[in-house]
Amino acid sequence: MAGLSAMEKKLAEFKCNTNEAIQLKLVRFPEDLEDDSTTFNPEYSHQVFGDDEVAFGYKGLKILLYYNAGNLSTLFRIQYTSKVNENFDCVEADDVESKIRKIIPPGFCTSTDDFVSLLEKEVNFKPFGTLLHTYSVHNEEAGEDITYQIYQADMTCPGFREYHERLQTFLMWFIETASFIDVDDERWNYFLVFEKYNKDGATLFATVGYMTVYNYYVYPDKTRPRVSQMLILPPFQGEGHGAQLFETVHRYYMSSPMVLDITAEDPSENYVKLRDFVLVKLCQDLPCFSSEKLMQGFNQEMVTEAQQKLKINKQHTRRVYEILRLRATDMGDPEQSRGYRLDIKKRLIGPYKKKQRELAKMRRCLRPEELTNQLNQIDLNMQHEQLEESFQQLVSDYRRVLERLAQA
């Protein structure tokens, strides 16, 4: 803080990192309120508090956003040890409350007692919509299998609209470019994951995560479902729920003759890894992906069979082929390894060849000084290095998919 005045240094003490200040909980029992182990923090808060993810004007700021585990009834409270306008004249603290109110729906609690009384009504909460899939996950800590269920819902389900308003607030904290969707558009589908658990002899349900899918029209009589948002809440991450949800949703659309293929909107790196795993799992038993056919190269039969049977588009089918061919290839065999490397690089080199075609056009059209400027941006040696790096990264990603598949 060199160069700052004494006043600036003192005011800097009233800056709080909002990713640390925001404390989230999914509450099942009253004692969870005081249990720090049930607290989790956002990954992002820039969409609410700006790019710096800072709230000014407080010391010891805590923004409490606690949710009942099932119905997601909400407790919102702000705590702090000191506020800037209590210490300095003419300096205003950020209006944290109004910023949070913009994303959480009305009807939240500000009293812990009111929130706990709502917790007692959780026994009446039941999942929305139609049950699609039930599965279990072994919990080492509890020493038992825990049951989970996946449902498909829409806005005609009583109470779902209000529930969804509460659920979607999590997007702001865990998806970097999140936005709320237009729920009045009937082309949205909603898929929800719940955990079944026991409390005082009764069966209750806790929210685990969800996915939204938009059904685009494809001329003349098809639809192309596009995954828009997918989130498994942090307390449940790393347990395989994302793969269960993805596969269940994919199978839901696979069964419809109206669906052409299934895509995703601006998928994250983690989503692509998840998609790779599930699609390879679904495709590996198709006849067109036998080891013998894989070694003969990518072909139209793979595209057609994956699209017709599994609603997978050509781009994703090609990626599945590359992963399965890696499994079928003995990378210790120089000839097989070279064949695999050339096959993958032939696809990867596409953008570089495009640049070369553009360069040929430039030679004909540009003046010498303009051409020199463009050539400086196209370093062929660097292109070869980038191509090799891309290949090695792909192989590394593909091996992780195959390792996970072997453990499934």
Which of 265, 370, 385, 389 is flagged as catalytic?
Answer: 265
Query: Cα 60 to the chain's mean position, in Å?
Result: 31
Three-class DSSP category at 151:
strand
Separation between Cα atoms, residue 250 and residue 244, nearest integer Å: 10
Q: CB atoms < 10 A from the CB of 395, how many?
A: 17
Give residue 173's identity as a one-letter amino acid code.
Answer: W
Helix ranges restricted to H, 260-313: 269-283, 291-294, 300-310
Separation between Cα atoms, residue 198 and residue 146, nearest integer Å: 10
- Do the beta carbons of residue 252 and residue 379 sit within 8 Å? no
- Do the beta carbons of residue 325 and residue 294 sit within 8 Å? yes
265 is catalytic: yes
Q: In which element (H, E) is residue 16 found?
A: strand 15-17
Separation between Cα atoms, residue 16 and residue 20, nearest integer Å: 8
Q: CB atoms < 10 A from the CB of 99, how many?
A: 16
Separation between Cα atoms, residue 52 and residue 68, nearest integer Å: 30
How do 39-40 and 62-68 pair as beta strands? Answer: unpaired
- Do the beta carbons of residue 212 and residue 251 sit within 8 Å? no
Instruction: Report the candidate in 82, 80, 94 with the shortest Cα–Cα distance to residue 45.
Output: 94
End-to-end Cα spacing for the chain: 52
Q: Residues with catalytic annotation?
A: 265
